[in-house]
Amino acid sequence: MAWTKYQLFLAGLMLTTGSINTLSAKWADMFTARGCHDDSEHTFSHPFVQAVGMFLGEFSCLAVFYILVCHDRRSPEPKMNTGRSFNPLLFFPPAMCDMTATSIMYVALNMTSASSFQMLRGAVIIFTGLLSVAFLGRRLAFNQWLGIMITILGLVIVGLADFISGHKDDSHKLSDVITGDLLIIMAQVIVSVQMVLEEKFVYKHDVHPLRAVGTEGFFGFLVLTLLLIPMYFIHVGNFSDNPRHVLEDALDAFCQIGHQPLILLALLGNTVSIAFFNFAGISVTKEISATTRMVLDSLRTLVIWVVSLALDWEDFHGLQVLGFLVLLLGTSLYNGLHRPLLARIPCCAGMVTVDDESSPEERERLLGDGRVEASEDH
């Protein structure tokens, strides 16, 4: 069955805005400008300020939700399911996980390439699968265990590609690249905890996805904005690249934006794209399927890698291609994307059985990038 123009638009919107989200964040990291405390130019290294902008984008989904509700109520026959009433504080624990993971990933993005950043986020299925077994009582099918093993292999290949390229890369030290890669993988553990918390305590309340994303965005934006105050006074030495070597210097960030307005454009690109990405992702799941959303999210990695090469932000490495393909295979197996292909082969049709307990919708809850990435990613 052919897609409608609206479905094609949603798929294109999700792919485009999802790619812009990571690329704009990396673009901001590449600028140099004068700050408040000295006359020399330095790189824009403000991951926590960027994370605040991302949560502002998520928070805006709440406004979109209420606009859609008002529009629906004005129609003769309201059709929108707004969900049952719930305690917003249910979203506070997963929002704190989201805030922590996103901040760590933006720190890591300063240290590694945009393509490796996106590829390594595929590690989320490993930890989500294991935590769903431990805390949700799920039983993973053979193809899901195989997908996890193949994903681990893909992560090793991508890490090896970064290790080799780190010796030749003048923009990032090898130690920074390795640290960045490890931070991304560590962040996926926290993202997995967030997804399991949402599955166990939140989704049973039948909350509209846009409202869920917006509520988490509100908590993340509020708490991280307040945390910028103590971060201004916490000295972390050479771990920070800002002139005062504090955890985050928000004033320096605003001064750099004043001296280089294009930084603001990159930050706005990140904020606006995450809002549209969430809307498009939720709409793709509703109008097409959760499987299509997962495929588009994998294609997003390819787009980011190709654009990074075209802009000369990184060099071509054959191992990265191999790593991407292995990660794609692992993700596809975990999400059961092999089933429709096997079903079309007469000799294999009998082998296709639904032997796992989780439905596609349940897997979407556990693997959807809430910004996603549930976030995504984030």
Produce one character per residue of 143-161: b if its CB has 16 or more CB atoms within 10 Å, e if not.
bbebbbebbeebbebbbeb
Q: Which residues contact 375 (CB under 8 A, 6 or more apart)?
A: 58, 98, 102, 191, 213, 278, 368, 369
Rounded to whole angstroms, the Cα distance separating 88 from 43 reads 38
Q: What is the pLDDT of residues 194-231, one digit of tens each?
A: 888 888 777 677 788 888 889 999 999 999 999 999 99
Q: Are 193 and 370 in contact (CB under 8 A)?
A: no
Q: Does 369 score more than 70 pLDDT?
A: no
Q: Which residue has the higher pLDDT, 226 or 345?
A: 226
- Tell me: the pLDDT tens digits for 87-116? 889 889 999 999 999 999 999 998 888 888
How far is residue 35 CA from its own chain's centroid? 29
Local structure of residue 34 (DSSP, 8 states) = E
Residue recorded with tokens 């166990």: 200
Break the chain into its structural domains and give their ranges: 5-335, 343-368
Of the chain, the end-to-end C-alpha distance in Å amounts to: 32
Q: In this structure, what DSSP letter does residue 288 have?
A: T
More confident residue, 21 or 369: 21
The pLDDT of residue 73 is: 84
pLDDT (0 to 100) of residue 78? 75
The pLDDT tens digits of the residues spanning 270-328 come to 999 999 998 888 788 778 877 787 788 888 989 999 999 999 888 888 888 899 999 99
Residue-by-residue DSSP string for 107-151: HHHTTS-HHHHHHHGGGHHHHHHHHHHHHS-----HHHHHHHHHH
> E strands within the chain?
32-34, 41-43
